[in-house]
Structure 1
Amino acid sequence: MKLVTLLIDQQPHLGVKTERGILDVTAAARAGKGSTLPATIHELIEGGSAAREAVEALVRDAEADGSAWIDAESAVYGPCVTRPQKIICVGLNYRKHAEETKAPIPEYPILFNKFNNTLTGHGHDVELPVASNEVDYEAELAIVIGRRTKHVGVEQALDSVFGYCAANDLSARDLQLRTNQWMLGKVCDGFTPLGPVLVTADEISDPNALNIRTTVNGEERQNSNTSDMIFDCKHIISYISRHFTLEPGDVILTGTPEGVVLGYPKEKRVYLQPGDVVTVEIEKLGSITNRMVAEKL
């Protein structure tokens, strides 16, 4: 399935995207069309196979009901996962990206975190903070965890995945590199556009064989493949779960490939400016686009 968050009257609704359009699952659940229907993406993730089967049945039954569908082009999207308990990020996880920034190849995954204030959806403006002059784009594959996971083995790790989506790990480089801790440059409001579609894991046979790219104002800046990851998805999940518990709905950003502004020589670095339009596209997961604007004070 391809799942989205619709914003209707400022409230998040769970939707399923098909070739016909988007079915509003939340509205159907509130109308009592199924006792096991989840009303939110987190209820769906936490509800396991019963919740998923209920949504799949709803989609089948709604095929004959034209009034149940929303046009995908006119929809207003929120982040496809709205309130993860944790947003965990992996730094320097593409070999060519580590090389372009002249960083040593990590021996272990470099982990840091973001918070829910950074989440935003496809089509929304992102404010460039007045505290920074060096905001960079970072196309990333995001993993969404589907069940409580602790001490999972590498070969079983992908069984814990609910789905995958595209993300942009926006980074204020001057704030990120001010100290040895990266957090400040990563947690500005709106710095994690996520979505628009969350594709369930059964539709992605190999998350480490996906083309990934970024354009800024239509100009290609990043073009790589998730096969360039130093630590692949199953190793990332296994490694994290050895140290703390992953919960349903947690999001893991798996790192960015080469082509970020930070990787250019200093004299050629042109960071994001108000009016710039950034699109992150991942094979089989679609693309998410956001316009950068000046922060409103």
Structure 2
Amino acid sequence: MDSLYGKTLFITGASRGIGKAIALRAAEDGANIVIAAKTAQPHPTLPGTIHSAAQEIEDAGGRALPLVVDVRDEVAVVAAVAQAAQHFGGIDIVVNNASAIGLTGTLDTPVKRFDLMVDINLRGTWVTTRACLPHLLRAENPHVLTLSPPLNFEPRWLAPHPAYTTSKYGMTLVTLALAEEFRERGVAANALWPRTVIATSAIDLLPGVDAGACRRPEIVADAAHWILTRRSRELTGNCFIDEAVLAQAGVTDFDAYAVEPGRDPLLDLFLD
């Protein structure tokens, strides 16, 4: 199963960044992409909308359904999933990509920001997956893929930004729990995280990061494609790193993904 042709992917936060890159890679196979994101009108500082992403997906060979969805809103998520399933005849894959970031300590993190990260990262992952599960259980090769890190309890990842860390680890815990809960029913659930910092709009929130030392989102998209084309009953409950996935797939030239080839890439958060 090396192609996602005809598969329907429900991707949160797919209007830009890693989510859009995953969508475009699937579109090359002729997949159906549900772009579940908030940005319907151009943002003053961030690139892309659900409509511009939809055009790129269709230009790449896929079919797109752009839907305005805030994953914090359960009613909106459930409605979007129902509309997507009706439009494409089902849902095969859910990609939990939408995420909020805030790299601040406890005293510098407003409660409102804490709530935002927990609501989008942890609760949004659970709500979205829960809404999609009835359709995934009817799919031939169902997958849940969450963009969250491996569980690394080294103190240096806990102290600097506890709210963000716990919300991202929560995404991973939900995914691993789903893997066990639905293992016998054939729904795969895995987490995927980049080995290096990825050049998206989020790097503006990482102080001192040189975009030239980052990799492009396509490396995560190619790793996601490899995972999502495996048999769901044979690949579940893993915390994958993009570079390791692609190495297993036979990729040896990671410099091809570099923003500036030849530079040593910066390691991402939560990785030793």
Structure 1-normalised TM-score? 0.28
Structure with the larger helix share? 2
Rg larger in structure: 1
Structure that is richer in strand per residue? 1
